[in-house]
Structure 1
Amino acid sequence: MGDERGTVSPKSWLNRLSNLLTTEPENRTELLAIIRNAGSRGVLDAESQRIIESTLRVADMQVREIMVPRAQIISIRDNSEPKDFLAVMIESAHSRFPVLAADNSDEVMGVLLAKDMLRLIGQKPERFDLKDYLRPAFCVPESAHLDRLLREFRDKQSHMAIVVNEYGGIAGLVTLEDALEQIVGDIHDEHDDADEDSHWISAQADGSFVVQAITPITEFNDYFGSEFSHEDFETIGGIILSEFERMPRINESIELSQWRFTILAADLRMISVLKVEKLA
C-alpha cells in the first residue's frame, strides 16, 4: 500500500485535525501547539503545517517589516513624457509604478501600469498627459498589520499600496506578492534572478548599462573594473549626487573617470536609476 498521507484531501486533514481538539483552544499559542502536534503525528504534512503557522503569524506582522523602502522605489513624476520613463519602465520589468507630483515627492497622484504604456513604445503622440493613464492609488500606514493589508488588497482589487509614515510621508511600497510570500514563501517569476548583481546592473544592446543608484560601490567596481572610492559613500548614486552638488534633473549627465552617468529616474530627494556609458 502507498503512503496515504500523500493523497489526503484538505477536507480529510481538516476532519482529522478537528478530532485532535478535545478542548477548544483559548489563545493562539494553544492553537499553534495543536497544529504542531498534528504535524508530528502525521495529520498534517510539513508544507500544510508551515502554511497554517505562517497564516497565523501574518496577523502579528506589520507592513513596515515587508515593504520596499522608499530609497528603492522606482517612481515617475506626473509631468514626465514617455521618453523620460519608457526605458526605465521596460528595464525594471516592474508592472506598476507610483506616480508622484512634480513639485511634491510625498504626493501620490496615482499608479501607472506598464501595460497601459505598451502602445506608446516607438510612438510620438502629438499630445500626452500622464494623468490620463493613472489608476487610483491607495495608502496604508506602515504600522498596519498584514491581515488588514490583505483585506484591503481584496476589497480594492489592487496589487500595490503606498506605505506612509506617521507624518504622511512616503515610507515605501508593498505589493500583494510581498504579503502572500509571508504565507506561501518566495514567489519567483520570469523576472526574478538569483544573481543579485544582475538586478542592480543590466547591459543594454547599445553597449550602455542601466544601473540602480543603490548599487554598492564595491559591486559597481567589481562589475566594471573601476576604482571608485567607497570611503565616503556606500552606493554609486551617492557619488553621483555628491558630484552634482544638487539634485540633478532627469537626462542630465556627468562624466567621471572615463564613465558618463545619465540620470534616468529621480525625485526631489534621491536618484533612482542611472544610465552608464564607457567613454572612448
Structure 2
Amino acid sequence: MGEAQDGHPATGQHASEDGESDSPARSSFFSRLFRRESLDEERSGDAEDEADPGGTSDEILENLRDLASTRVDDVSVPRADIIAIADDCSLAGVVATFRESTLSRLPVYTETLDQPRGMIHLKDLALTYGFGAPAEGFEIGPLLRPLLYVPPSMGIGALLAKMRAAHIHMALVIDEYGGVDGLVTIEDLVEQIVGDISDEHDEAERQLWAREPDGSIVAQARVELEDFEDETGIELVPPDRADEVDTLGGLVVRLAGRVPALGEIIAHPAGHEFEILDGDPRRITQLRLRPKPEVIAGAAAAE
C-alpha cells in the first residue's frame, strides 16, 4: 500500500474546480438521493465517529444531555471488527494477538464469538507468564475476568453506571437471538462525553486511508467524509448536502440504497467508483475509491 494518511484535517483543494460538481444532472441526483429514507448508517461502520480531542465544556454538556437518548448500539464496535481470542489458543497466540491489536483487554470465546467465556487482561497475562514463567501447560481459564452482557437498546448512561458499579470495563452487546452483535468498553462511553482519549497506541487507529500506486484510495468506511474530502481534494457530496451524511461508508450505503455486498462496485454520479473490500451483510467496514481518470491524473501531477 502507498502512503498512509493520519486522519487529521489538512488543507485541500476540492475537485469541484473541474466544473462538474455543480452540474444540473449531478445536483438533481443528490436531491433525489437525500430525499430517500436512509438506512441505519451506524450499522455500516459509522459507529466509531471520533469526537474532537479535548472537548470544550459546552460540547461536554451537550454530550451529557445526549446520554439519555444514545443507545449502546450507537457506539459499539461492530461484530465484524471485534478482536477476540479462542479459549484453546496457545500462549504464543495470545501474546501475538495482544501485540498486533495493541489492546489491553480482549474477549475470550469457545468455538465461536457467540459462546463468550469472559475477557483476558494483558496485565494478568504479563504477571503470570511474562517474567520467566514456563509456557508449558498454559491455560487461559484462570486468567479470565467477567464480562457484562447488554441489549443493543440500553442507554449508554445506564451502561456506564452499571460498569462502574460492577467494576467491569467491557461489555458484549447481545442481540434478540442471543448472538454477539458488538462490543463496548468503558473508554468508548467516556469518549462520548469528553471526546477522544488518545494514547500512544492510537496512532495506527488514526490511519484511516491510504493512496495506492494506481491512484485508488483504500479507506475505512467510518472515515469522516468531510475530513476525507479535505485531505484528498475529491468532492463527493455537494456542499449544500454535506450535513446529511457523516462518513464515507454512509455515503456508499446511500448511493446503493442498501448495504452493498463484498466485491460490489457502486458508481458515484461524478464518475468515481467504490469497491466494497470488507464487511458483512449489515455493514461495510473497508472500501476502495477509484476516482475518475482526470482526478487521478491531477493528483499525480501535483506530486
Please indicate the TM-score interval, normalised by the length of the shorter structure.
0.5 to 0.7
Greater radius of gyration (CA): 1
- Whether 1:180 and 2:190 are equivalent positions in the alignment is yes
**1:194 offset after TM fit, Å?**
6.8
**In 1, Cα distance between equivalents of 2:115 and 2:96:** 24
Instruction: Please report the TM-score for the alignment, with normalisation by the length of structure 2.
Output: 0.50
Count how many residue pairs are aligned between Structure 1 and Structure 2: 169
Residue of structure 2 equivalent to 1:234: 276
- Provide TM-score, normalisation by structure 1: 0.53
Structure 2 partner of 1:138: 148
Identity %: 38
Residues 217, 236 of structure 1: 8 Å contact kept: no
CA distance in 1, matches of 2:188, 2:59: 17
CA deviations 1:199-257 (Å, max 9, x no partner) are 99xxxxxxxxxxxxxxx99469xxxxxxxx9668733799xxxxxxxxxxxxxxxxxxx
Unpaired stretches in structure 1, ≥5 consecutive residues = 1-45, 201-215, 221-228, 239-280
Secondary structure of the structure 2 residue equivalent to 1:234? strand
Q: CA deviation at 1:72?
A: 0.6
Structure 1 residue 125: Cα displacement? 2.2
Q: Name which structure has the greater RCO, CA cutoff 8 Å, separation 6+.
A: 2
Q: Shift of the alpha carbon at 1:163?
A: 1.0
Question: Which of 65, 71, 83 is matched with 2:80 structurally?
Answer: 71
Question: Does structure 2 conserve the Cα–Cα contact (< 8 Å) formed by 1:140 and 1:162?
Answer: yes
Alignment correspondent of 1:263: none
Aligned counterpart, 1:264 = none
Q: Aligned partner of 1:118: which letter?
A: A
- 1:162 aligns to 2:172 (yes or no): yes
Identify which of 60, 71, 78 aligns with 1:51.
60
Match of 2:276, SS state, is coil
Does the 8 Å contact 2:209/2:219 carry over to 1?
no
Q: Is the 8 A contact 1:164 1:171 kept in 2?
A: yes
8 Å Cα contact 1:217-1:235 kept in structure 2: no
The correspondence of residues 248-263 of structure 1 with structure 2, limited to 5 A, is none
CA RMSD of aligned residues (A): 3.2
5+ residue gaps, structure 2, are 1-54, 211-215, 221-261, 266-274, 281-303
What's the offset of the Cα at 1:95? 0.6
What is the CA-CA distance between 1:156 and the residue it aligns to?
0.8
Asked if structure 1 preserves the Cα contact closer than 8 Å seen for 2:72 and 2:156, the reply is yes
Structure 2: how far apart are the matches of 1:156 and 1:142? 19
Q: CA distance change for structure 1 residues 65 and 82 in 2, over 3 Å: closer, same or farther?
A: same
